[in-house]
């Protein structure tokens, strides 16, 4: 038996309770078959090895209270050992909470910390929160930000809140506003970019996103807030949440993001580095969404990090609006 795998588990017959009602079957299986790749889970559903009330279902089937789910025996990968965040990282995360109530919390995620562990990272924001709050019954990411992106990140504290927030994201009832420094002078005030995007994996294994007519529909609205001949500060509202969407859309217009090693401009990155930039200049500035408990409109704002504000000052990119 390979060292990295565990023995097959017995067939499980699980009854869906209130905590999992409304959840997609593929996400439920990911929860109860930890360590099993998503591709394997999809294959189990397609082949009919997973049954709900003795019937085959599609991977997007939403579970109902009282459903009986047959989970087949599956060889699982050895659980990945989760590291413990160092005291400095714990302190950064603890101080980054912008809002918290019984249903959710919103963090101003620091740049350089991933939202979850994996791919060589021993821990992420969610693992750190669970370590810091061992008695919390439920903590799950509602959405994601790239490791090098800072700003507003929502974590659900109840499964009912997670379901409601996911519905709001799917129903385009969440407004996501970012700030980014881009190369060159943006003109025209507001510009809408609707290039379709497609994810690709290179032979090296690197994930990359490209503009592709056969890709997924995507929409970003760029508004110029300050500009010089060398660089512009843009406020960006995204209407879809594709991987690397802002970075690829910005590059497609000839105005790539500062500090972007994948889609950026080498000379522009050198220029911004001389002005003190040591990270990707992309910040999730504001989130607006209906609260999952009462539907009340929430507006959470993460101020522009000091290190980014100092880069703007050094480059002479000044805005009358306070971020």
Residues assigned a catalytic role = 146
Backbone angles phi, psi at 286, to 5 degrees: -150, 145
Place of tokens 């603890």: 94
* Residue 108 CB neighbour total at 10 angstroms: 23
**Among candidates 36, 54, 34, 65, which has minimal Cα distance to 44?**
36
Output the six-digit token pair for 67. 């459903």
Calculate ∠ Cα 79-80-82, nearest 5°: 125
**Residue 26: closest CA among 80, 71, 74:** 71
DSSP string across 2-64:
-TTB-PPPPPEEEE--TTTTT-BHHHHHHHHSTTS-HHHHHHHHHTT-SEETTB---TTPBP-
């Amino acid at each position: 038996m390979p060292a990295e795998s565990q023995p097959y588990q017995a067939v499980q017959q699980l009854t869906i309770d209130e905590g999992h009602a409304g959840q997609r079957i593929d996400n439920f299986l990911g929860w109860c078959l930890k360590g099993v790749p998503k591709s394997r889970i999809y294959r189990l559903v397609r082949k009919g090895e997973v049954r709900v009330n003795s019937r085959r279902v599609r991977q997007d089937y939403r579970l109902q209270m009282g459903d009986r789910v047959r989970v087949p025996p599956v060889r699982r990968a050895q659980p990945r050992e989760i590291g413990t965040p160092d005291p400095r990282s714990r302190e950064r995360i603890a101080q980054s909470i912008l809002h918290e109530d019984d249903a959710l919390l919103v963090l101003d995620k620091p740049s350089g910390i991933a939202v979850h562990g994996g791919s060589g990272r021993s821990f992420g924001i969610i693992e750190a929160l669970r370590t810091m709050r061992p008695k919390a019954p439920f903590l799950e990411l509602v959405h994601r930000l790239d490791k090098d992106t800072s700003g507003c990140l929502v974590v659900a504290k109840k499964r009912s809140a997670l379901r409601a927030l996911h519905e709001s994201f799917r129903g385009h009832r969440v407004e996501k506003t970012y700030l980014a420094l881009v190369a060159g002078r943006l003109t025209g005030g507001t510009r809408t970019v609707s290039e379709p995007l497609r994810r690709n994996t290179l032979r090296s294994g690197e994930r990359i996103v490209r503009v592709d007519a056969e890709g997924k529909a995507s929409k970003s609205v760029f508004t110029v807030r300050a500009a010089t001949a060398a660089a512009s500060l843009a406020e960006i509202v995204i209407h879809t949440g594709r991987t690397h969407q802002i970075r690829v859309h910005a590059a497609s217009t000839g105005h790539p993001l500062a500090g972007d090693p994948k889609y950026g401009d080498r000379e522009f990155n050198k220029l911004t580095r001389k002005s003190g930039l040591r990270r990707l200049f992309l910040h999730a500035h504001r989130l607006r969404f209906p609260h999952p408990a009462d539907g009340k409109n929430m507006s959470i704002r993460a101020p522009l990090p000091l290190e980014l504000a100092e880069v703007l000052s050094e480059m002479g990119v000044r805005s009358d609006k306070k971020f």
